[in-house]
Amino acid sequence: MNLLFVYGTLKHGGHNHHFMVGQTFVGGAHTAPGYTLFDLGGYPGLVAEPDDTLGVSGEVWSVDDGCLAGLDVLEGTAEGLYRRGPVPLAPPHDGRRVEAYYYLRSLKDRTRVGETWGT
């Protein structure tokens, strides 16, 4: 199993949450400071931002390899839209290997939304 931090449309209530069916919700989570979200037009992008002091809120899920492969396709990792990599989380998830999807393209004309996407 793989631990994955989700922060946008894959969260409970998000329009892509159905991709998480059959996976295990671990709990709410928050990144360490140094990360923020940008509005990419209906979905968010997580980026490292050294000056950030808040971090990003989301959820941790335990996902199987098949789900993770499908999410890589959804997130466009092969096309260079996102990359999946380790993300440091605040307690109680600190010290665990958890990955997240990081946005890789230009942020020009994109709005910073900060620590929370959606409800």
- Selecting among 75, 79, 99, 115, the annotated active-site residue is 75
- 75 annotated active-site: yes
Which residue type occupies 29? A
CB atoms within 10 A of CB 9: 17
> Would you state the torsion angle of the CA atoms of residues 108, 111, 113, 119, taken in this order, to the nearest 10 degrees?
-120
Nearest alpha-carbon partner for 7 in 60, 65, 51, 78: 60
Instruction: Point out the residues that are catalytic.
Output: 75
